[in-house]
Structure 1
Amino acid sequence: MNNVVNERTPLVIAAEINMLKEHTHKTVLINSVEIGRRLTEAKAMLKHGEWGQWLKESVSYSQSTATRLMQMYKEYGPKLLDVSEGNNSSNYAALHNLTYTQALILLGVPEEEREKFVEDNAIDNMSTRELQQTVNEKNQAIEDRDQAQAEKAQAIEEKESLKKELDGKDREIAR
């Protein structure tokens, strides 16, 4: 006897919708990376000065859109496409669950820190605005740290300079 429930309930429909949404997010991101790969390839084939016209006539993209897609390919392509082709050894398996918008926002995180950022922050549960704010806060913290390090280095340099000056004065007095 077949015990499969065929009854359509709001819960079943919600599960189907959520599955389709997840699939759509993955498809959009992977296809964006693939488009970026092809745009990169086409740009390399075109002569200098032909790119903008080719974009307009051939694919109806602005240069800024094309640049974004090419950057998506450059930053995520090999890692994301490895995962989508079943190579789960990639450390970037978490990227496969990103939406296109999340992936764009994460371009604001340095590549060498991106994976850890994704792991450390529950970005699946963040709105776009929250993710952007978190990235901005991280970048501000990095700027603040770099500024503090520069100020510290300058203070050390000034201290050494003053010490040399004092040592020179001490030698003068000792004569």
Structure 2
Amino acid sequence: MASRAAQGDQVAFARLVARHERRLRHFLGRLAGTGIGDELAQECFLRAWQRAGDYRGRGSYAGWLYRIGWRLFLDSHRLAQRRAAHDALEAAGPDAEPHYPAADAALDLERLLARLDARSRAALVLCDGHGWSHAEAAEMLGLPLGTLKSLVARAKVALRAGLQEGEP
């Protein structure tokens, strides 16, 4: 089906979208938030259609699609960080001290996930949240397998530590 979509078959591409849409939206939503994740998923499918001929079948179609989504997320994340830093500087005024969030903020799983760096969060969500194997997730993120395994392990350690901090 992926090879037919790569040749411009709209029906085959629509089937691929139907097959991968829910999980891709969930993945991107966990990384960027639901609204932004939905927008990124739409952009991902648009780019996949526009670049359908670039898919060569060397890896899984899901891996190729998630890699597009991952790159879109990184671009969006970088842009949001630059905007937030700019807005904070403008709002603070010239003599204001920098503001840092309280270290003892209420901890829940979403907040802990948000505290992870983007690569660790993506690796953990793909493997533990979506059930992809380490090899599949490494392919999706364009990382060596050992790097992916390290990211997942460190993310789990960070989540456990955060959960323990929140205990009475």
If the TM-score is normalised by the length of the shorter chain, which range does it land in? Answer: 0.3 to 0.5
Larger Rg: 1
TM-score (normalised: structure 1) = 0.31
TM-score (normalised: structure 2) = 0.32
The one of the two structures with greater contact order (alpha-carbon pairs below 8 A, sep at least 6) is 2
